[in-house]
Amino acid sequence: MRINVVTIFPEYFSSPLETSLVGKARAAGTLEVVLHDLREHGKGAHRQVDDAPFGGGAGMVMMVEPLADALDPLDETHRVLLTPGGRPLDQDTLDRWATLNDLTLVCGRYEGVDERVAEHFIDEEVSLGDYVLLGGEVGALAIIEGVTRLLTGVVGNPLSTETESFRDGLLEEPQYTRPSEFRGWAVPDVLRSGDHEKVAEWREAQRLGRTRERRPDLLE
């Protein structure tokens, strides 16, 4: 799979793209990430990519022209804009994108992006959540990680991408490893009982209880 990233900060991505399973997937050729420096399409001697908003107001708006020039050659790809005004990113969306050959992530910055970009150059707008960051770069990294772990051969045990939180609409149950007791805090007996049926029942109950308590919206 190839993921294009359009950003004014390509250097932001260097270490995360080298690290862990994303680095390995790139080295193995399972994943290719192409960074497109929006500044190269900037206007004038200062390579300007933002300007004051029509109608007045605080902050700067990313200009349509540099983004159009960057995105025109990528018009065969699925183009996603990262913006707090987008639809919240979820697992179903990552599952869908992980089946694509080409995905393009456009990182917004400043107070926003000229609406003509979203109208004419973007297929989907997504947000990381109901809070405002400085730009879309963290979101692009989140998507790269979330998609990469779904690519064939990246995660050792495919069961671990099948049984995790959200895939069936519930949060994951608590997990424990050795030691069985630490500072007097013991691992629940049932997990050490060897009774697989009881363990499965306990896990299901934990998943439901946790989801009810922390994310009742998922149960609706």
Between 42 and 86, CB nearer to ligand ADE: 86
Q: Within positions 75 to 104, which residues make up the interface with ligand ADE, using CB under 6 A?
A: 82-84
Q: Does 132 bind ligand ADE (CB under 6 A)?
A: yes
Amino acid 46 reads H
How far is the CA of 147 from the CAs of 21, 167, 177, in angstroms? 11, 14, 27
Sheet holding 32-37: strands in order across? 32-37, 2-7, 102-107, 78-88, 124-127
Q: Within positions 154 to 173, which residues make up the interface with ligand ADE, using CB under 6 A?
A: none
Task: Determine the Cα–Cα distance for residues 220 and 217; give it in Å rounded to an integer.
Answer: 5
Q: Does 112 bind ligand ADE (CB under 6 A)?
A: no
Q: Does 131 bind ligand ADE (CB under 6 A)?
A: yes
Q: For ligand ADE, which stretch binds (CB under 6 A), given 43-51, 133-141, 187-195, 209-217?
A: 133-141
Q: Does 5 bind ligand ADE (CB under 6 A)?
A: no
Give the residue, chosen from 133, 155, 191, 199, that forms a contact with ligand ADE under the rule CB under 6 A: 133
User: Please, which residues have CB within 8 angstroms of residue 115's CB and are 6 or more apart in sequence?
Assistant: none
CB 14 to ligand ADE: min, Å: 20
Pair type for strands 32-37 and 2-7:
parallel
Q: Does 127 bind ligand ADE (CB under 6 A)?
A: yes
CB 170 to ligand ADE: min, Å: 24
| CB atoms closer than 10 angstroms to residue 126 | 22
Residues that bind ligand ADE (CB under 6 A): 82-84, 108, 127-129, 131-133, 135-136, 139
